[in-house]
Structures are given as C-alpha cells and as structure tokens.
C-alpha cells in the first residue's frame, strides 16, 4: 500500500509499505488530495539511523509508540469514471426542480438512490426504479456521485456536512455536486473538507426554472476542479449546458450575478406590462409587439403569459428568490459594491411574504407593483 507522509513545513512524501514493516520512499512531491486514515503504523521499536541513498530510494523505520500522521494519497485518475449502468448516482432534494433533473439521469441509464425530507415527493422517482434512502449519508454510502438541490444554505450545510450528511458516507474518489443556489464561501468550505476525505465537491447552481428542468435545457454554472467537472459531463448532459467558471465557489458567484440580472429584468417586465395597461393598450398585443425586439428575453417568454393568466404557481418560489437576493446583497456588502436595482428588487420581493405570497413563483412580483399602484392587470382566461 502507498501513503503520503505529511510533515509541517516539508513536502509530502510518497511511501510504500514493504515486508517487515519497512517503508520505502518512492518520491517527495506535493500531494493534491489528502484523505485521513487511521491504520498503518509499522511496528519497529526504534528509529534506525539514516541509510545512505541506494539508487532512487531511501528506507525509513518508524516507532509504533510515536504516532505519525499518514494519509492516503488519491490521484485525480482515481476519481469516479462516469458511465451509465456503472456509476451509481445519489440525489438529495426531489422538489420542483430536482425530481425532473434526477429523472433525466435515470432515463439516460443511471441508477439512483434518492432522499427527500418529504419522501412522498420522491415517490414518482421510486416508481421508476430509484431506491429510497433514509438519510443523505445513506444515499452517499450507496453512490459514486451525489447531487444535492435543497432550499437554503443552512440546508446545504446540514445535508452535506451534518452528522448524517453526504460527506459522512461518501467513499474516497466520490464527487459531491451541489446544485442549490447557495453562499460562495460555503461552496469553498465544502470543497476543502471534501478534499481532506479524498473526494471532490463541485458547486453547480442552475438557471432555467422548472421548464428548463423538465426539458433538460438548464444553464449549469460550475465551480471546482476542472478535471472533476469534465468527468461529470455524461451526468450534466441530460440536464443542460455546462459552463466551468473557475475554482470552488465560482459557480455560486456566477449564479448571484445571474439572479441580479433576473431580478431587475423582472421589474422591467412587470412595470412595462402595467404601463401598457394604464396607457390603454391590450397587454397581450403589447407583449407580442416587443417580444421579437430588444426587449425580448427569457423572462418575458417564461413569465408574461403566466402573469396574463393570473398563474402564480411556482417554477421557482419567491422565498427562495428572496434568499438568493439576500446572499447577493451580502456579497455586495463584502465587496463594497452598490447595486440600487438589486436593493429595490430585494425590497419588493420581501414585501410579498406578509401577503402570503412567498410560496408563489417569481412572477408574483406583479402583485407587489399592483398594490403599489392600486391597479390590477386584466387576466386572459384559457390562453
């Protein structure tokens, strides 16, 4: 067996255990991945005098009575090779987005072990062949790659780093993919702790809403080790298009910028519709007139029809969007950045909760602006 001997202030040394408890020095080099282990301390009663170099190796003997920090070396080549029918997928979080995303992977030939706090939401996946687990840890114990998509950063922390979390059950060489929109700093913390256990963690929040999840057309924003992201390509492909932005946390930073863009775009969409209505225009005709021009956008395509129908069902819940905008506001404070549009959007979306609208979709922003102007957009029935 080979091990890395980690010494403070010294390079890591790759060692091999030979017969009679002898350790053979194979190389001295920085170690990319360090995973804790508690076995393998040779049983010699004393430390030998240094041997002269013999060829390219040196022999060392260690005392049993003086423990030495020895950790298992994991190379990137040992990470999971992703193949349908071979790679075991774990999925934690089977809500509006997660159920569709996990379903695409199962359709692509991957087996799945799933967990959701409300297990009835995972039942449709179980009906298709997924195996239900009792905890995220149990999911990880039966998986090579574990995806998480939960609600809030506190949920991410508990799901991945908790006593019964993913990292407690994942074997060395495994990969965690957190697709929740969460704190960039938490993504970096998870990646560092995963690496200590010989695993990798990728932050991969998505954009595209429930429609993108159902159609497999999500934009996937990845942060983390480039080789790990590349290895995940067969799993990402059924869900959407991947962009690798950089190291751990970069995916979450990209998602924050994405949410800032969406928030201010939604204000423009709703304000334009209200303006058209008050000006006496047919709002549906107004939308048709502008959709092919510079004012056209994904938000207009996804949400204008829902607003006109009075359909406030969530593709993405207001309370989760408020959480995202709160993270963005905090990141702006940290960076010394002033974004007035973000502040306005955050305040308007926050105003929906007292009216019981925080479980509605983000198109419910229209309700806040309707109340502000004491007016109501006409609804188009059955269109």
d(CA 139, CA 161): 14
d(CA 132, CA 111): 12
User: For this structure, is 255 an active site residue?
Assistant: yes
Q: To which H or E segment does residue 260 belong?
A: helix 250-278
In 279-356, where does DSSP find H-type helix?
Answer: 283-290, 298-309, 318-335, 340-350
**Residues of 75-90 as b/e, b for ≥16 C-beta within 10 angstroms?**
eeeebbebebeebbbb
* DSSP character at residue 317: B
14 - beta bridge partners? 4, 27
d(CA 83, CA 86): 5
Catalytic residue from among 8, 134, 200, 255 = 255
Q: Are the C-beta atoms of residues 138 and 162 closer than 8 Å to each other?
A: no
Residue 357 main-chain phi, psi, to 5 deg: -110, 15
Hey, what are 379's tokens? Answer: 């609804």
Residues carrying an active site annotation: 255
């Amino acid at each position: 067996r080979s091990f890395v001997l980690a010494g403070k202030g010294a390079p890591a040394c790759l060692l091999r255990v030979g017969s009679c408890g002898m350790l053979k020095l194979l190389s001295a080099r920085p170690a990319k991945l360090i995973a804790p282990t508690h076995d393998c301390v040779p049983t010699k009663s004393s430390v030998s005098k240094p041997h002269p170099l013999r060829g390219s190796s040196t022999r060392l003997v260690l005392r049993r009575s003086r423990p030495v920090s020895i950790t298992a070396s994991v190379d990137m080549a040992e990470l999971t090779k992703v193949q349908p029918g071979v790679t075991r997928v774990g999925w934690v979080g089977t809500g509006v987005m997660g159920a569709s995303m996990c379903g695409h992977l199962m359709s692509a030939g991957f087996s799945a072990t799933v967990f959701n706090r409300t297990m009835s939401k995972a039942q449709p996946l179980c009906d298709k062949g997924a195996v239900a687990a009792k905890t995220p840890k149990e999911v990880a114990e039966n998986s090579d790659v574990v995806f998480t998509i939960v609600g809030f950063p506190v949920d991410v922390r508990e799901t991945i780093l908790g006593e019964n979390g993913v990292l407690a059950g994942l074997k060395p060489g495994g990969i965690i993919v957190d697709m929740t929109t969460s704190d960039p700093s938490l993504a970096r913390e998870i990646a560092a702790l995963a690496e200590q256990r010989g695993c990798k963690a990728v932050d991969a929040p998505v954009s595209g809403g429930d429609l993108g999840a159902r159609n497999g057309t999500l934009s996937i924003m990845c942060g983390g080790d480039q080789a790990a992201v590349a290895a995940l390509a067969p799993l990402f492909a059924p869900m959407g298009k991947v962009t690798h932005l950089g190291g751990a946390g970069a995916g979450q930073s990209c998602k924050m910028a994405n949410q800032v863009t969406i928030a201010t775009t939604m204000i423009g969409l709703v304000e334009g519709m209200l303006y058209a209505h008050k000006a006496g225009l047919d709002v549906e005709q107004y939308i048709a007139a502008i959709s092919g021009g510079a004012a056209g956008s994904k938000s207009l395509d996804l949400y204008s029809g829902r607003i006109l129908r009075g359909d406030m069902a969530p593709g993405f819940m207001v309370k989760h969007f408020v959480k995202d905008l709160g993270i963005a506001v905090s990141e702006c404070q940290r960076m010394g950045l002033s974004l007035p549009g973000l502040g306005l959007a955050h305040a308007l979306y926050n105003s929906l909760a007292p009216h019981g609208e925080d479980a509605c979709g983000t198109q419910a922003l229209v309700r806040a602006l309707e109340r502000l102007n004491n007016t109501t957009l006409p609804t188009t029935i059955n269109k």
